[in-house]
Structure 1
């Protein structure tokens, strides 16, 4: 009788345990969203400009592959990214890195998380690095 009780107790413990790992997993980061440009660094002049979230936004749309840039910056920043407009883009992934090509300009993806995106023109002395947040 004791053996049956132990087996039933063990089965109850095993069956009552469930895995909620699936519910806790974060979705994979994606470009397909609206990103706020919050910092631009680089260039010959050594730019390091911060922007308030929402002042400059880039909305990546996968279908069609377009970026809608809304640039409402009125500061005296030397470089605030692209002017407002719609730009075509494509994502090129190799074994070494991922690049966003915006109308023939290559921007290497340095970091892509659910809340931050960093793109870099990759030119040693005169390229810009763009940092975005959601």
Structure 2
């Protein structure tokens, strides 16, 4: 009887553990890493296949996940085709689609993103954006 009871407890514990997956935790953790200050260091691609490099601190994006506000400071003085966003405050949201994190800025799709080794990559190309001539923006903490 005691052996059956212990087996039943073990099976129930296993079932509870498996049903409490960490999918929600993973999505929250990956999006929370976007929070904070990022330095735009590069923009590549587009129809003209550009390759712009920026000094750390020249263009910063500060994401606040509590308020869903993005504060951009753009000190770039060069006349180039694209340097991201102009200085200002923007609303943003994160949408998860088939394990892809999508960034929307002022209710417009801005691209998919991922974070790895303190680098943020925003990719404006691909199926999720419907664009094949978009830019790839690189950021560092």
TM normalised by structure 1 equals 0.73
Structure 1: 4+ residue segments shifted above 6 A: none
Structure 1, unmatched stretches of 5+, are 1-27
Residue 132 of structure 1 corresponds to: 139
CA distance in 2, matches of 1:48, 1:118: 15
Q: Which has the higher helix share?
A: 2
- The aligned counterpart of 1:6 is none
Q: Partners of 2:109 and 2:95 in 1: how far apart?
A: 12
Match of 1:93 among 96, 100, 106: 96
Bigger Rg over Cα: 1
**In the alignment, which of 105, 111, 125 is matched to residue 107 of structure 1?**
111
Give the TM-score normalised by structure 2. 0.69
CA 1:87 to 1:101, structure 2 compared with 1: closer, same or farther past 3 Å?
A: same
Gaps of 5+ in 2: 1-28, 126-130
Counterparts in 2 of 1:1-134, with a 5 A limit?
30-103=33-106, 104-109=108-113, 111-122=114-125, 123-125=131-133, 127-134=134-141
The root-mean-square deviation of aligned C-alpha atoms, in Å, is 1.4
